Amino acid sequence: MVKILKTTLVAWFITFGFLLSGCSHHSIKPGWAETIATITESAQMPDGSYAYTITFYADKSTAVNQQGEPIKGPIEQHYFQQTKLAIEGQKLKMRYDIEEPIFNVLLEDIEFVE
């Protein structure tokens, strides 16, 4: 029984490792495109935490809304309960999934107020 559990555990870790190896956000994958995102809003919340908004355009997106219109942007993503205040106006390279641009990865680090 212990040997079966060890074998299963090793197989699971190998499989998980293969899955993670495909998740590197720096490798170029088909179906992804790059754009520039901007931090358009950054604020301290009443509870003392911070929030910011990232806005970007997805010009190569193939996604459509419920009316069948293309989704190109501007697309906004809001981040709450952050521990640092992001610097507004900074521009960051981003990669997005052309079929679902809400799935994206920043390729540069966000700068925060010291």
3-state SS track over 11-32: HHHHHHHHHHHCCCCCCCCCCE
Paired tokens of 102: 């809400």
> Each residue of 40-70: pLDDT tens digit?
999 999 999 999 999 999 999 999 999 999 9
Under DSSP, the state recorded for 68 is S
Write down the pTM of the prediction. Answer: 0.72
- Is the CB of residue 106 less than 8 Å from the CB of residue 79? no
Task: Check residue 27 and give its pLDDT.
Answer: 54
List pLDDT tens digits, range 65-84: 999 999 999 999 999 999 99
Do residues 94 and 34 touch, judged by C-beta distance below 8 A? Answer: yes
